[in-house]
Amino acid sequence: MRTSLLLLLLCLSGCTSKALFSPTKSWVDEPENFRDSYSDIILRHPDGLRLHGWWLPATGYVHGTVYFLHEGGQNISMVLPDIQWLPEQGYNVFLLDYRGYGLSEGKPKLPAVFDDVQLGLDWLRNARQTQGPLTVFGQSLGGAMAATVLGDEKNQNAADCVVLEAAFASYRGITDDVMKGSWLLWPLRWLVVPGMPGADLDPKSRIAGLAPTPLLVMHSEDDPVIPYQHGKRLFAAANEPKQFQRLRGGHIESTRDPAVQQRIVNFLEGNGCAAPAPQPPARDEVMDDMTPLPLPPAATGNNGYRF
């Protein structure tokens, strides 16, 4: 009886984590394949875990810094094609792997991973590398966790802008949706769903706390992973200032579209999250049009100087 109960608990624990997290250790790409410079960042968690991330510096004038949080089935090496345009637009980008992903230690589970997101935010707020306004950009699970963490009262005004793509509204709700799609997990829903974070930590419960930080919510009508209605519910729960961008196409595929990239840039520029490039000094037309005066004759003589 005890053995059977232990196996059930182990299965339950595994199913609870796998419902949202599919940690990937293998490396798919390297920043050097996309750009000339980057830095490895190692953050030490208070519980001793080492979390790994990449710092991608902006190209040219720095308009701001973006904290990017990836979805549950990726690691930072897999999202480079989706975000490499940001440094080209003048934004530093910090990519963080949650515990259990990539080179980060530990095993992912909630609510512990919220601490990982918080650790990256705290580091950015104090790092010398952070320049200009700070934007948090989260996709899917990363977007949901961004809403939960940033919606905490202690993080009010911690970011200057927030962009969420394909985020879900409820941890228990999306877990139920995911498990309904698997004949193997379907009968375990009544055991697993109650083990997810409660309504007080749900993105839709916390997202109102982001205000007055400008918020952009993006979601595809065709998303096969996170139903479109999750994005609509999340947006409805947010306070102004907020904008909603309806997308088309698959799950978190939109940022490779130049039109969507420009939409994000426009949002940042329109909400004070893009530091303007310095203007060249004004041309003094009066002085510029004056003919240069000739140099005076060089001094000569026994006690003179000649240049």
Is a pLDDT exceeding 50 seen at residue 13? no
Could you report the per-residue pLDDT of 128-163, keeping only the tens digit for each? 999 999 999 999 999 999 999 999 999 999 999 999
| Tokens read off for 292 | 């240069």
* Predicted confidence band of residue 203 (pLDDT cuts 50, 70, 90): very high
Could you report the per-residue pLDDT of 38-79, keeping only the tens digit for each? 999 999 998 899 999 999 999 999 999 999 999 999 999 999
Is a pLDDT exceeding 60 seen at residue 1? no
Q: H-helix or E-strand containing 6?
A: helix 2-18
- Give the burial class of 295: count Cβ atoms within 10 A of its Cβ; 0-12 exposed, 13-18 middle, 19 or more buried: exposed
Query: Can you tell me the distance from the alpha carbon of 155 to that of 187, in angstroms, rounded to the nearest whole number?
Result: 38
Buried b (16+ CB within 10 A) or exposed e, 174-210: bbbbbbeeeeebeebbeebbebbbeeebbbbbbbebb
Mean pLDDT in the chain? 85
The DSSP secondary-structure symbol of 46 reads: T
* Predicted confidence band of residue 205 (pLDDT cuts 50, 70, 90): very high
* Predicted confidence band of residue 28 (pLDDT cuts 50, 70, 90): confident
Confidence at residue 287, expressed as pLDDT on a 0 to 100 scale = 53
Query: Which amino acid is present at 159?
Result: A
Q: pTM value?
A: 0.84
Could you report the per-residue pLDDT of 102-120, keeping only the tens digit for each? 999 999 998 999 999 999 9
Query: Can you tell me the distance from the alpha carbon of 33 to that of 29, in angstroms, rounded to the nearest whole number?
Result: 7
